[in-house]
Chains A and B, each alone.
Chain A
Amino acid sequence: MRLISQIGAWFDQRLQLAAPIRELAEHPVPRSTASWWYVFGSAAFVVFLLQVATGVLLALIYVPSGAEAWSSLQALNHDVTLGWFMRAMHGWGSNFMVAIVLIHMVQVFLFGAYKFPRELTWIVGVFLLLMTLGMAFSGQVLRFDQDAYWGLGIGASIVSRVPVFGPALVKLMLGGPIIAGATLSRFFALHVFVIPGLLIGFVSLHLLMVVKLGINDWPMPGRVVKRATYLSEYHALIKQDGAPFVPYAVWKDMFVAGFVVLAVAACALYFGPFGPTGQTDPTIIQTVPKPDYFFLWLYALLSLLPPSLETPVLLIGPVLVIIALLLLPFFSGEGEKSWQRRPIAVLTVLVTAITLGTFTHLAEFAPWSPHMNAWSADPVPGRFLRGTTALERRGALVFQVKQCRNCHSLGEQGGKRGPALDSVAVRLTEDQLIRQVIQGGGNMPAYGQNLSPAETTALVAFLRTLHPAGQSPARDASRGIVLGDVREEGTQP
């Protein structure tokens, strides 16, 4: 024991770090902040350290070359002992990091922690969020599978829409005119050197300010922040009701950090690594690219926005959001901290969370995407064919073979891009059906050139049978009179 303290003293005589470290650990915090609500920042930091560790371990095997990246990941998954586990830890660590950083941000926002004098801590935090998202996207690219390839293509398409500089920015992003080896190398440099380097610097700044300015006091309704008085009030609070961070508050951080790392490991064990999906071969076009979980909301937004609004929303939207986040502490640097007195803040968080959640949920089953194999994979359910005539059955065949099914479902099966047709005959009359099939419209292509008159007749005859048993198909009341069809007139109910 004496030997250890002697060695410690030897090092400290030269490093002189013991005193500042003790000061850091024992810096006083308001007792009220030793709360389970104040653990997300340290949890994010611990996951970041985990990502650095697993990232370095992956880099021992991973090859950042367009020709070999994919097979080196296969080797990690299947050949290298526990390589799959390291990949899974890194992949799940990334998901956890994005989630925890977002939760941390919401907590800080709702507790008013961005207000005076912690404006810069918030601004650095906004950059940390952007870097975390940058790491998530660039990490997905390093997988260099089909999703990564087409994801890069989507990124390039978005960047290309920037006025004037678009094409140049695309080449800068891809490292050339096409997605190739240089693209992967460039994202590898970003993911492994540039962004982590910036992250380490910004995290240090962020932590430094947390320690120097003191942790945000628990927001009490009615305790209003004023620039003139806040600092003296805070110091008085610490003097009156403060406690050293270690050990008073730190044990909760430690418990949560340990739990989060365990959760990452559990997910890694149970769910395994992410991909890689198919090989990066652009000649294989039978692929349905989908972004990683945290960009699914964007995937949904891109298909639900009106086409003409897409480019402005894509290019201006993120800029406005980032500017709003950066300016937030300047517009509301004083005033109430408690969420109980800030209904608009609470509402903003709720609306944002519900919007992103809804978009993400929608993107999981992507109702806007045609089912490319529905026409050959999902047969027309038998009940739609029972008791039909030869012409109507011929129409059902046309319905399948012309890929109508890729966008229209029957009996819950098939694409959801267009409306389900289970009861289309109730909605459209015969003439309207013919017109819709031939001329298209309302987001449906015109089939006039691809259907013979006989096929159209058969198809419409089949569509006319699609109505609930107790309901008769829609009919144009004037049709019988105009065409002089007395028989049809007679069947009018």
Chain B
Amino acid sequence: MTSETMLSRRGLLVKMGILFNGLVTAALAVPIVGYIFSSLTRGRADSYLSWVSLGPVSDFPEGETRLATFRNADVMPTDGKTVDTACWVRRMAGDQFQVFAVNCMHLGCPVRWFPQSGLFMCPCHGGVYYRDGSRASGPPLRGLFEYPSKVQNGVVMIQAGELPTPNASLAPVGRESSCA
């Protein structure tokens, strides 16, 4: 009878063993979870966003849209060429610029600029945008993603560092606010 109601020495040791291993697991889980989610926490303060140069203003003739490339500020040795990114730079007049991501707002395929018809066309599902980045036709719901841009000391700068996706910090043209 006593063996059912009372805790035996062995039973206690097994329970303590379980408890001990549980504590060790919980303690180890902290760094493991921290490691797994490090790609999230690194971006919490938007620290991956930085201003990068696209070249001197004179590279971009007024009234034209040209392809420019930039290198991501944050580079790891295993990144290879993936840190080089392209973007479409539209110089309207003087220091007035619009810089669009090449990624289609629909699913991210690279859009191409056709100066003759003044349209960006996406090769994947046929999204089309006007020269100001606004949606013309096809499956995209809104316009192209536009990088925040400025001209500093005669150099065109954009704030980049994140893959443009529909809910990312980059706002598509024709969208009032970036967060829902």
Residues of A at under 8 Å CB distance from B? 65-70, 149-150, 153-154, 156-161, 163, 166-168, 170-172, 174-185, 279-283, 285-289, 299, 302-303, 305, 307-308, 310, 368-370, 372, 375, 401-404, 406-407, 417, 440, 443-447, 449-450
16 A–B pairs (Cβ distance < 8 Å), ordered by A: A69-B80, A70-B80, A160-B168, A167-B169, A168-B40, A174-B163, A176-B42, A178-B82, A282-B81, A288-B124, A289-B109, A370-B121, A372-B121, A403-B117, A406-B121, A449-B130
Judge whether B165 and A167 touch: CB under 8 Å: yes
B67 touches which of A182, A285, A307, A369 (Cβ 8 Å): A285
Known A153-B163, A170-B165, A174-B163; further 8 A-B contacts with Cβ < 8 A: A160-B166, A172-B37, A176-B42, A176-B48, A177-B74, A181-B76, A308-B141, A310-B139
Asked, given contacts A174-B39, A178-B163, whether A369 binds B76 with beta carbons under 8 Å apart, the answer is no
- Those of B127-171 within 8 Å (CB) of chain A: 128, 130, 136-141, 161-163, 165-169
Asked, given contacts A160-B168, A182-B39, A446-B136, whether A150 binds B80 with beta carbons under 8 Å apart, the answer is no
B163 touches which of A179, A181, A280, A447 (Cβ 8 Å): A179
Q: Once the chains are docked, how many angstroms separate the CA of A279 from the CA of B43? A: 28
Judge whether A172 and B40 touch: CB under 8 Å: yes
Judge whether B108 and A407 touch: CB under 8 Å: no
A150 touches which of B74, B110, B136, B162 (Cβ 8 Å): B110
Closest beta carbon of chain A to B108's beta carbon, Å: 4
CB neighbours of A286 from chain B (8 A) = 112
CB neighbours of B85 from chain A (8 A) = 178, 282-283
CB neighbours of B81 from chain A (8 A) = 66-67, 279-283
B138 touches which of A161, A443, A449 (Cβ 8 Å): A443
Q: Once the chains are docked, how many angstroms separate the CA of A183 from the CA of B86? A: 19
Q: Once the chains are docked, how many angstroms separate the CA of A182 from the CA of B125? A: 28
B107 touches which of A157, A180, A288, A375 (Cβ 8 Å): A157
CB neighbours of A372 from chain B (8 A) = 112, 121, 123
- Those of B105-121 within 8 Å (CB) of chain A: 106-112, 114, 116-119, 121
Judge whether B76 and A281 touch: CB under 8 Å: no
CB neighbours of B79 from chain A (8 A) = 66-67, 180-182
Judge whether B136 and A368 touch: CB under 8 Å: no
Cβ of B69 < 8 Å from any Cβ of A?
A: yes
B69 touches which of A149, A175, A283 (Cβ 8 Å): A283
**Closest A residue to B111 using CB positions:** A285
Judge whether A170 and B168 touch: CB under 8 Å: yes
Judge whether B80 and A177 touch: CB under 8 Å: no
Residues of B at under 8 Å CB distance from A? 37, 39-40, 42-43, 48, 67, 69, 72, 74, 76-86, 102-103, 106-112, 114, 116-119, 121-126, 128, 130, 136-141, 161-163, 165-169, 180
CB neighbours of B107 from chain A (8 A) = 153-154, 157-158, 302
CB neighbours of B83 from chain A (8 A) = 178, 180
Judge whether A150 and B108 touch: CB under 8 Å: yes
**Closest A residue to B76 using CB positions:** A181
Judge whether A401 and B110 touch: CB under 8 Å: no
Asked, given contacts A66-B80, A283-B86, A443-B138, whether A171 binds B39 with beta carbons under 8 Å apart, the answer is yes
CB neighbours of A368 from chain B (8 A) = 125-126
Asked, given contacts A167-B167, A178-B83, whether A285 binds B116 with beta carbons under 8 Å apart, the answer is no
CB neighbours of B168 from chain A (8 A) = 160, 167, 170
CB neighbours of B162 from chain A (8 A) = 177-178
**Closest A residue to B123 using CB positions:** A288
CB neighbours of A176 from chain B (8 A) = 39, 42-43, 48, 74
Q: Once the chains are docked, how many angstroms separate the CA of A178 from the CA of B122? A: 20
Q: Once the chains are docked, how many angstroms separate the CA of A404 from the CA of B116? A: 11
Closest beta carbon of chain B to A323's beta carbon, Å: 25
Judge whether B108 and A154 touch: CB under 8 Å: yes
**Closest A residue to B113 using CB positions:** A285
Closest beta carbon of chain A to B171's beta carbon, Å: 13
Closest beta carbon of chain A to B76's beta carbon, Å: 5
**Closest B residue to A406 using CB positions:** B121
B114 touches which of A66, A150, A403 (Cβ 8 Å): A403
CB neighbours of A447 from chain B (8 A) = 117
Judge whether B163 and A177 touch: CB under 8 Å: yes
CB neighbours of B110 from chain A (8 A) = 150, 282, 285, 287
Q: Once the chains are docked, how many angstroms separate the CA of A279 from the CA of B125? A: 22
Judge whether B166 and A285 touch: CB under 8 Å: no
Closest beta carbon of chain A to B145's beta carbon, Å: 11
CB neighbours of B39 from chain A (8 A) = 171-172, 174-176, 182
Q: Once the chains are docked, how many angstroms separate the CA of A167 from the CA of B106? A: 16
A402 touches which of B77, B116, B123, B124 (Cβ 8 Å): B116
Q: Once the chains are docked, how many angstroms separate the CA of A179 from the CA of B78? A: 12
Q: Once the chains are docked, how many angstroms separate the CA of A445 from the CA of B123? A: 15
Asked, given contacts A149-B82, A180-B83, A279-B81, whether A156 binds B116 with beta carbons under 8 Å apart, the answer is no
